Amino acid sequence: MKLKELYSAVIFNTILGAIVPSFGGYIYYYQIDVVGFTFTQYSLLSLIGYATLISGSIFFNLFMKNKEFTMMMIVACFINCLGSITTVLFTRGIYLGMSPYVFVILTSTVTDTLYQCFVQLPLMVLFAKLIPEKIEASLFAFLTGLSNLNNLFIASNLGNLINLWVGANEDNLATTVWKLYAIQAGMSLLPLFFIWLIPKRQQVEKVQRCFEYIDLYSDRLANKANKQDDYEKLSPRTAGRIGIKNPADEEPVSAATTSDLTLGNTADV
């Protein structure tokens, strides 16, 4: 089965997490050691982030679930870029008349969570539509592991690699960490060059119709009176890649074969 729509979506998901660096450790120490956030304040930022995630999920279900997947990925990339830019402002001491804590709440805390919402929800919906029956659990486990590898390992190590050039450390964190987020702001738009990998909604619907056709006619003894008509409603190219043959080219099942399927071989009784 050649599901290029599924493969290309997995490749985009991998690229999305692998080419945008993460500097979470650096901003943590900047907020605690330089700005002076307490551990309680930092914990509250996570709580506010989860509340934003719930709000983002509701917004997605109400207004975005029927939009093109490509459009939602474009929105996610720009949200990520905006969050990086506001972090540059924060690390340069530009708070737009607010306290540092309120500024972080209204900017990067919200944008970071919304970014994850606009990335994870559409991609999980897309994968749910494209993954064939009986392998959903295995593939979703693989995708979860791949996502953790990208976000928790590759992105962080890419950030550390970039910092070898920037040179941010505990002695100069106050004056150099903004450079890291300026780089992240630019690199957060790189996935847009690979946006063509995400299948259009129309392509996904063609794959789903093929899956429905397979489910309907998987039984050799099923009623095939409308099989040719149903086949002609499919996309021939998509059906061919998935392995669906034209019923007109199939050999008819003989009466003897049908008898063997239903009653079994009487000689063995």
pLDDT of residue 150: 84
For residues 97-111, give the mean pLDDT.
91
CB atoms within 10 A of CB 253: 12
CATH (residue range 4-199)? 1.20.1250.20
Encoded tokens for 51 = 């509340």
Encoded tokens for 145 = 């592991």
Is residue 238 over pLDDT 80?
no
* Biggest alpha carbon–alpha carbon distance for the chain: 91
Is residue 264 over pLDDT 60?
no
Domain ranges of the chain: 4-199, 200-246
Encoded tokens for 66 = 């029927």
pLDDT of residue 239: 65
Residues 6+ apart with CB under 8 A from 73: 12, 16, 118, 119, 122, 191, 195, 198
65 pLDDT band (50/70/90 cuts)? confident
pLDDT digits (tens, 9 = 90+) for 135-174: 778 888 888 888 888 888 899 999 999 999 999 888 898 8
Q: How far apart are CA 209 and CA 122, in angstroms?
A: 20
What's the distance, CA 96 to chain centroid?
33
pLDDT digits (tens, 9 = 90+) for 3-39: 788 888 889 988 888 899 999 889 999 999 999 999 9
Could you tell me where the beta strands, DSSP code E, fall in the chain? none
How buried is residue 84: exposed, middle or buried, by Cβ count under 10 Å (0-12/13-18/19+)?
buried
